[in-house]
Chain A
């Protein structure tokens, strides 16, 4: 089965600084999703990447999928308190199975 490993597990960043979160898959990614979760709440969809080398941006968040489609990175520029939360990467299960496999998440804390 496919496994997604996220790094780092937790991250404390000073407000205004840039940061990067990584998501590495044990298998080729056919659809990679990034979500944000506030503690105790549902998941908010950020972006979905499908093609090798693809890059998407939303406000100050940019996500990339590498050419080999086994790793994705999420980059936040000039972090703000509103960026705090848990970032989760998810991948299409593939092989005819439905739903997503998720990484364990990255806890992001923004220090003022």
Chain B
């Protein structure tokens, strides 16, 4: 079956600490993968997308980076978190007729 996994579900990190969020999909090959952030008052914003291994497109300049080391793995990272990085992070996968989203990671930077 085709599924998308995202972890952890919640994360509390101090300012200046590193970040790594992981997203994996099952039941497909060469998927288009996406990272979104949902912040209070700002709606759902596309951060990065990837159409293949090692291929990353950045939508918004910021303190975050993404990598795709394997076909079905998409990682969101930061070397030093800022307070403004707090939010709800969602991984998504393009599969007809729409995009399927993971269950999300609630990140609080303190």
Contacts and interface: CB of A to CB of B under 8 A. Distances in A.
A42 B102 contact: yes
Interface string B49-66: 101000001010000000
A22 B20 CA distance: 37
Instruction: Report the contact-size class of chain A (Cβ under 8 Å from the partner).
Output: 10 to 19
Interface in A17-55: 33, 35, 40-43, 45, 48
A35 B104 CA distance: 15
Residues of B contacting A: mostly = strand
Interface of B: 6, 32, 34, 41-46, 49, 51, 57, 59, 88, 90, 92, 94, 97-104, 106
30 contacts: A33-B98, A33-B99, A40-B88, A40-B106, A41-B103, A41-B104, A42-B90, A42-B102, A42-B103, A42-B104, A43-B90, A43-B92, A43-B101, A45-B97, A45-B100, A48-B97, A93-B46, A98-B32, A98-B34, A98-B49, A98-B51, A98-B57, A98-B94, A99-B34, A100-B99, A102-B43, A102-B45, A103-B43, A104-B43, A105-B44
